[in-house]
Structure 1
């Protein structure tokens, strides 16, 4: 109860040094660093690519430094026994399979939509072109290939020329 009473006075505890004026080593708030780390962990867990974070920026660099200073808890004692660990692994495998099943469904939905759109574009293009007119067509005469009817052998041209 004493711990709860401390917050009634408006004093909200923070990670070491933040807001105390004694040297918070980061330019971003603890909330910003923790939010980025949580998002990165979620992306890693769900096997999503990191496409939104500038890894060369100060927020990302500070978050990585903060993670080194305050690493996530280890698996042990989080899982106090091999049974607890195996239970976690089984649940994680079920969750992973569900994620991959969903991702596969999304992939095939997107792939199907793409293929349908391509087919519709081809159909629209062929519908707008009159039948038998896939493009300009020329005869040999129009191209000038039948100028000399007696000239049949390209290897032995006529002497008069």
Structure 2
């Protein structure tokens, strides 16, 4: 037995929405152990989504956030492997848990690159863009899929 299975991390639901996925997102959003700040940023972003969304659709901000995460989930990832003196990119299918993690990281990283004033505004606008299937995070996800499609010939070299 070479590989030891990792214990699955237990997440507790967040105080406002009672959702485990929200607490996972907040853990990724948190920097330097400042969880209360991460909660404030996320909840302000959700309030901003509610404010912006009342004009357009009658969906709750949590539904919009979940749909945007679903839109961002990549099915495959690219891993490098050294073969015969050259590195080749191998597409590897992702499990559902890893898809969620990748989507969360795509969303947060794309939000930090935006030009809005505060992180909560950046996050809110990036969530809305991902919900409408546009924006930087969607471009990155599509780029991952394009690279996987281009390197499909190497898919039999799985890890």
- If the length of structure 2 is used for normalisation, what is the TM-score? 0.23
* Larger RCO (CA within 8 A; separation ≥ 6): 2
Q: Name the one with the larger strand percent.
A: 2
Higher alpha-carbon Rg: 1
